[in-house]
Amino acid sequence: MGIGVGILLIVIGAILTFAVDATVSGINLDVVGWILMLAGAAGLILFVYFSQRRRAPRAVVTERYDDPGQPPL
């Protein structure tokens, strides 16, 4: 889930929670809105966490061979 999907879930959840006064039998739209907002926030947090993890510096290992006549293994 990227930034756009996370923000979209938050927006749709906020609309369902705060702007819609309709009633649907068997479904509480306020609860559905809160669930969507939490899912969007969790998606944004996970996206930022994994994108920061990808940018972390990594160790570079180089091997050096002193004998020019011997090929590396």
Q: Which residue has the higher pLDDT, 20 or 70?
A: 20
Band the pLDDT of 65: cuts 50, 70, 90.
low
pLDDT for 18-58, tens place per residue? 999 888 899 999 999 999 999 999 999 999 998 887 776 77
**Amino acid 68: pLDDT:** 67
Listed by start position, the domains of the chain span 3-54
**Amino acid 30: pLDDT:** 94
**Amino acid 72: pLDDT:** 61
* Cα-based angle 34, 37, 38 (whole degrees, multiple of 5): 85
- pTM metric for this prediction: 0.70
